[in-house]
Amino acid sequence: MSELTREETEALIQEVLEVYPEKARKDRAKHLAVNDQSIEQSKKCITSNRKSLPGVMTVRGCAYAGSKGVVWGPIKDMIHVSHGPIGCGQYSRAGRRNYYVGTTGVDTFGTMNFTSDFQEKDIVFGGDKKLAKLVAEIEQLFPLHKGISVQSECPIGLIGDDIEAVSKKAAKEMNKPIVPVRCEGFRGVSQSLGHHIANDSIRDWVLDKRDGQGFDATPYDVSIIGDYNIGGDAWASRILIEEMGLRVVSQWSGDGTLAEIEKTPKVKLNLLHCYRSMNYISRHMEEKYGIPWLEYNFFGPTKIAESLRAIAAHFDDSIKEGAERVIAKYQPMMDAVIARYKPRLQGKTVMLYVGGLRPRHVIGAYEDLGMQVIGTGYEFAHNDDYDRTIKEMGNATLLYDDATGFELEEFIKRMQPDLVGSGIKEKYVFQKMGIPLRQMHSWDYSGPYHGYDGFAIFARDMDMAISNPCWSKQTPPWKKRPEVPEASELKKVA
Amino acid sequence: MANIMVRKDAAGAYSFYLPKRDLEDAIVSMEFDTSEKWGGEIRLNNGGAYYIEPQALPARFPISLRARRLDAAE
Ligand code: SF4
């Protein structure tokens, strides 16, 4: 579809808002905006990180999801207990596809679901005893685990269990860390607070455990923070950083271990991929240990090259040369990918609705393929995320914060993008409308999408989604104009 | 009183961070900014204002401080 002008986009927003009752309309109006690159501050155009309106359909998660599902869950050699009723953990089990190496159930536990399976009596009489028993059982059944985190679900906060006391006592007995995390789902407005709570618990219970211990440092130690290794993302990023001559001491938290996290305060630079979920701990390390942090973007060759150079700027000439070497090495491969897919994708439009960093980070990758992002939005962003987005997005494009099911459907119906990037809840709605959708949370069971290797897969996947012949078959035969079947086809049927 | 964090970026500009509300913003003005006396009333880009007890210039940034809210934005 051709681009909308600013006035048209504004009119579209007004039209969509019309169905709401007045109070809701006023509230939602603050969350929808037309991008204006001249604005320095997102606050002037969009409000974010507010409670979702009762009655609308939001796609947000809860604080527990932010802590267990995002930050803690991927730490592979710890056991993360979903403390409370069984559903919260079971329905989200292994859903994020955080890849890891190890033998599941022996020394790694990423895809398993551990829960205290609360019953009525635990709610009435409290679950502390059950937690103590469960911890002892874990120690017996899975002796190679390196520690436990207790991820509180809603009831824990409601009934006032003292998980801290149980954790402290059991940790002493078994001589391994047990981290109580107060990430009850009702806290905050979205999973974003869960990230924050999880970061704080890492700060308070894990990070300083090796302070004052020796460490064979090199001047090139870095850590990768906020990469959850979805479909192998962190691996595709790590090889580039290692190739340019740096040493990756730790990787958070995709394919990460407790020991790596404890060693992070020894590095020289923290490389932060998902700003939203891990900026808290990066700020803490900056203040306490004087480790600077740097946001980088490994989606698409343009942004990768930019990021590699920005990372190298923190180090000496050998690393700077290393970065150039890496960029030059992969350039021919990238040129080949672009030569193959750009002609097929040139000029196609995309609308995104995801969380974390992707609504802004993947824009560059689409642009590398000649595609254009005409609308983007976050589930749980804060103002600082939109500050960073405004510059990435074109003028007069659409921004939507915590979009409701209705708004998103209307926007997409009207703007008719060639591709939508969102999640599983949106996927079949839009595909039934005849618009291809790629899941941009789980990479639609593909990936990795980070790094140079990831870009080749990204390009292929986007092409596969858009160029799939099924989209031309959406109109059922009885609604089509009658056509005379070709003679050869008739013969086949007969 | 709120706990805040003040950072200084590569260009030397101060930025403000309020962890409790996850509010990040640039500091547009600071009442005192000399090595002996630093702090006082600070104004944020979003229109908010906070007061930091004037003190000697902190030896390093970022630094966590207590600040009093004078005028919140929104
Ligand atoms: S909101 Fe509460 S009950 Fe629902 S998934 Fe989150 S922790 Fe579980």
Name the more confident of A70 and A1.
A70
Instruction: Judge if the beta carbon of residue A88 lies within 6 A of ligand 1.
Output: yes
Nearest alpha carbon to residue A117 among A88, A158, A149, A80: A88
Q: How far apart are the first and last CA of chain A?
A: 41
Report the mean per-residue pLDDT for chain A: 92
Size of interface A-B (CB pairs under 8 A): 29
Whether A491 shows a pLDDT value over 90: the answer reads no
Residues A281-322: tens digit of each pLDDT: 999 999 899 999 999 999 999 999 999 999 999 999 999 999
Which chain B residue has its CA at the smallest distance from A276's CA? B22
- B-chain CB neighbours of A49 within 8 Å are 22
Q: Which residues contact A206 (CB under 8 A, 6 or more apart)?
A: A177, A179, A258, A261, A262
CATH number of A63-210, picked from 3.90.1310.10, 3.90.1150.10, 3.40.50.1980, 3.40.50.2000: 3.40.50.1980
Whether A139 shows a pLDDT value over 60: the answer reads yes
E strand or H helix that includes residue A374: strand A372-378
- What is the gyration radius of the CA atoms in chain A, in angstroms? 24
Note whether A59 and A379 are within 8 A (CB).
yes
Place of tokens 């990469």: A227
Residue of minimum CA distance from atom 6 in ligand 1: A185
Cα gap B13→B8, rounded to integer Å: 5
E strand or H helix that includes residue A14: helix A6-17
SS3 A463: helix
What interface predicted TM-score (ipTM) does this complex get?
A: 0.78
Cα gap A152→A150, rounded to integer Å: 6
Beta bridge mates, A349: A372
Residues A156-214: tens digit of each pLDDT: 999 999 999 999 999 999 999 999 999 999 998 999 999 999 999 999 999 999 999 98
Whether A2 shows a pLDDT value over 60: the answer reads no
- Structural domains of chain B, ranges and CATH numbers in brackets: 2-69 (2.40.50.240)
User: How far does residue B28's CA lie from ligand 1's centre (Å)?
Assistant: 40
Instruction: Tell me which residues of chain B, numbers 8 to 37, contact chain A at a CB-CB cutoff of 8 Å.
Output: 17, 19, 22-25
DSSP code for A417: -
Task: Give the full edge-to-edge strand order of the sheet including A221-227.
Answer: A247-253, A221-227, A269-272, A293-295
Q: Tell me if domain A1-60+343-494 and domain A63-210 are identical in fold.
A: yes
- B-chain CB neighbours of A280 within 8 Å are 19
Mean pLDDT across A9-25: 92
Residues A393-404: tens digit of each pLDDT: 888 899 999 999
Pairing of strands B23-33, A398-401: unpaired
Q: How far is CA A296 from CA A71, A224, A234, A373, in A?
A: 18, 10, 13, 20
CB–CB contact B62 A283 (8 Å): yes
Residues in chain B: 74
Q: Which two tokens stand for residue A14?
A: 């007004």
CATH architecture for segment(s) A221-326: 3-Layer(aba) Sandwich (3.40)
Cα gap A430→A436, rounded to integer Å: 7
Give the best residue of A277, A286, A388 to mutate against chain B (max B CB count within 10 A): A286
Distance of CA A416 to the CA centre of its chain: 25
Mean pLDDT across B13-28: 84
Cα gap B34→A313, rounded to integer Å: 30
Note whether A106 and A132 are within 8 A (CB).
no
Q: Where are the domains of chain A?
A: 1-60+343-494, 63-210, 221-326
CATH of domain A1-60+343-494: 3.40.50.1980
Which chain A residue has its CA at the smallest distance from B6's CA? A287
User: What is the set of active-site residues of A?
Assistant: 62, 65, 96, 195
pLDDT of residue A1: 46
Cα gap A439→A233, rounded to integer Å: 15
Give the CA diameter of chain A: 82
Nearest alpha carbon to residue A250 among A230, A272, A222: A222
Whether A226 shows a pLDDT value over 70: the answer reads yes
Place of tokens 């995320």: A385
Residue of minimum CA distance from atom 5 in ligand 1: A88
Q: Which residues contact A139 (CB under 8 A, 6 or more apart)?
A: A145, A174, A176
Instruction: Judge if the beta carbon of residue A185 lies within 6 A of ligand 1.
Output: yes
Residues B21-41: tens digit of each pLDDT: 777 888 888 888 888 889 899
Name the more confident of A472 and A364.
A364
Please state the pTM of the whole predicted model.
0.90
* Helices of type H across A294-380: 301-312, 317-345, 358-361, 363-368
